[in-house]
Amino acid sequence: MKYEIKGGSFPVVTCRLEDGEAMITESGSMVWQTPNIKMETRGGGIGKMFSKALSGESIFQNIFTADGAGMITFGSSFPGKILPLEIGPGREMILQKGSFLAAQTSVELSVHFNKKLGAGFFGGEGFIMQRLSGHGVAFAEIDGELVEYRLADGEKLYVDTGNVAGFEASVSMDIKQVPGLKNKLLGGEGFFHTVLTGPGNVWLQTMPISNVARAVSRFIPAKTQ
C-alpha cells in the first residue's frame, strides 16, 4: 500500500492498493474511491461492539478490499491534520477516542483503559482510549495543528486532557490537581491536568473539537418551551 496526504486544513489521505489489499475504517470516513474497491461492513460480536462503543468508535467498521489495483481516499471530520503511524512490535500506539481514521487490516484496534484510578475518575476523555497494535500503517485525525514531543525516561508534560491526541504505549498517563483553591475556582483551567510521563513520543492537538463545541455553545440561545 502506498499513500499520499493532500490538502491544508481539510486534509485527505489517498491510499493506492494492490489486488487483494484491504483497509479498515470507521463508517463515514471514505470520501472517494475507484469502482473496483469492494466494501464490507462488520460488527464483530457483542463483546467487541460494546468495547467499540466505550472507546468512542463506531460500532460498525467498513473493510475496503481492492479487486485489482485501485485507489481509495479517506477524509478527516474536522479541520486539522492526518497523522500517519507505523505500527509494529514495540511500536504500539494509544490514541484519544475518536482519533482513529483508517488502517491496513493487519493493524488491530482495541480498547485501552487507563490503569490509574485517578485518571479514570477525573481524567475525562483520557480514561478510555484506543490501542493500535499488530503491524502496518494507520492514520489518525488531529484537531487543529499537530505538535510532537519526545519525552525522556521520567520526563513529564502537563497537558489539558482534550489536547492529548495520542502517545506511544511506553508513555504513561495520570492526572494532577491544579494547585490552590483560587486557581481551581477562578483560573478557568479546570481542576486537573493530564500528566504524560516518558519515555516515548506524544502527539498534541491545538484545537480539540470538544473545546470548539463548548465555545460555540455559549452563543446558542437556550431552547424555550
Each domain of the chain, given as residue ranges in start order, spans 2-217
What global pTM score does this model have?
A: 0.81
Residue 121: predicted pLDDT: 44
In contact, 1 and 84? CB cutoff 8 Å: no
Residue 85: predicted pLDDT: 97
Residue 60: predicted pLDDT: 75
Residue 134: predicted pLDDT: 96
List the pLDDT tens digit at each of the 225 positions of the chain.
999 999 888 999 999 999 999 999 976 789 999 999 999 998 654 345 445 555 445 567 899 999 999 999 999 888 999 999 999 999 999 998 778 999 999 999 888 766 554 444 444 444 578 899 999 999 999 999 999 999 999 999 999 878 999 999 999 988 887 655 444 444 445 557 789 999 999 999 998 876 676 667 767 776 655
> Shortest CA distance to 28 belongs to which of 62, 4, 3, 53?
62
Residue 1: predicted pLDDT: 93
The alpha carbons of the chain give a radius of gyration, in whole angstroms, of 19
User: DSSP characters for the chain?
Assistant: -EEEEE-SSS-EEEEEE-TT-EEEEETT-EEEE-TTEEEEEE--HHHHHHHHHHTT--SSEEEEEESSSEEEEEE-SSSEEEEEEEE-TT--EEE-TT-EEEEETTEEEEEEE-S-HHHHHH-GGGSEEEEEEESEEEEEEEES-EEEEEEPTT-EEEE-GGGEEEEETTSEEEEEEPSSHHHHHHSSS-SEEEEEESSEEEEEESS-HHHHHHHHHTTSPPP--
Q: Which fold has domain 2-217?
A: Double-stranded beta-helix (3.60.160)
Residue 112: predicted pLDDT: 76
Query: Residue 170 — left, alpha, or beta (φ > 0 → left; ψ -120 to 50 → alpha)?
Result: alpha
Cis peptide before 199 (omega within 30 of 0): yes
